[in-house]
Amino acid sequence: MNFLLLMMGGSGTRFGADRPKQYTLIDDVPVFAYIVRAYERLPEIDRIVVVTHKDWTDYVQEWKDKLGADKLTHIVCGGSSRSESVLNGLTAIKEEAAADDVVLLHDATHPYVDKAGTRAVIEGVKQYGGATLGACQYDTVYRMNAETKLLEQVVPRQEIVSGASPEAFRFGDIYPIYRDASQEELDAMTSAGAIALAHRIPMVVVPAEVINLKITYPGDMEVFKKLVHTYFFEE
């Protein structure tokens, strides 16, 4: 089976709104619901797990019911860190997931579903062990001095890719890493991809077919509002 973990436990402090960005209403529908609905309709996804902040679990349940999202089988509270939230999501499916099942992680701050890319990511896991959707770079890429803001060198753009959603792994590979990590390690871990590489899980990049939009600041949300029905989630 293929499990989709929708990660949305953050508080959205940088976004500066009255609610976390994943719950912001666009035409009376919260951002995360667009993502859930799209994955619900994707045949390759068998189960959806939403990992959310504890204060928003009832709200997610309400939207599960409104959407008739039968694949959404678990609504899980997030932890104190991103990695602890991933662990909570993986733990929720440990009784039903086989070692070779694919687990995809999609960050709700990436408000899109790349259908073809998701299919390719699943196949990439089967072939390599890990895969991620990524945005390849087409402009000149520089390395900059973080303090002086002066350019230091040109970086070959063929070697640079921006991480996108989803990234995916075999359950039997990724779950033990999170399960056996100490609390200190969980707090220090930044992304599942970085963790996989540290544990020598090969990851293949699937070039994204959508704009790799990430909602971090209010301006990002304005872009999403303009494109939500005409590009990201065409009905």
Q: What tens digit of pLDDT does each residue of 186-225 get?
A: 888 888 999 999 999 999 999 999 999 999 999 999 999 9
What are the chain's domains? 2-232 (3.90.550.10)
pLDDT for the residue numbered 13: 47
pLDDT for the residue numbered 135: 95
Residue 48: closest CA among 205, 135, 214, 166:
166
pLDDT for the residue numbered 16: 46
Tell me the Ramachandran region of residue 217: left when phi exceeds 0, alpha when psi lies from -120 to 50, beta otherwise. Answer: beta
Which of 60-64, 68-72, 178-182, 203-207 is predicted least confidently? 178-182
Amino acid occupying residue 230 = T
Would you mind telling me the total number of residues written for the chain in this entry?
235
Prediction pTM value: 0.94
pLDDT in tens, 83-138: 999 999 999 999 999 999 999 999 999 999 999 999 999 999 999 999 999 999 99
The contacts of residue 188 (CB under 8 Å, 6+ apart) are none
The phi and psi torsions of 21 (rounded to 5 degrees) equal -60, -30
Mean pLDDT computed over 24-31: 96
HSE-up of 111 (CA within 13 Å, CB side)?
29
Res. 10 pLDDT band, cuts 50 70 90: low
Return d(Cα 110, Cα 157) in angstroms, integer: 23
Mean pLDDT computed over 61-74: 98
Find out whether 46 and 72 touch, Cβ atoms under 8 Å. no
Amino acid occupying residue 136 = C
The CA radius of gyration of the chain, in Å to the nearest whole number, is 18
pLDDT for the residue numbered 11: 57
1: how many CB neighbours lie within 10 A of its CB? Answer: 14
The contacts of residue 209 (CB under 8 Å, 6+ apart) are 114, 116, 117
Average pLDDT of the residues of the chain: 94
Q: Could you tell me whether strands 204-207 and 130-136 are parallel, antiparallel, or unpaired per DSSP bridges?
A: parallel
Residue 131: closest CA among 143, 144, 118, 140:
118
pLDDT for the residue numbered 49: 98
Amino acid occupying residue 11 = S
Res. 14 pLDDT band, cuts 50 70 90: very low
Place of tokens 């039997």: 172
Res. 5 pLDDT band, cuts 50 70 90: very high
pLDDT in tens, 169-189: 999 999 999 999 988 888 888
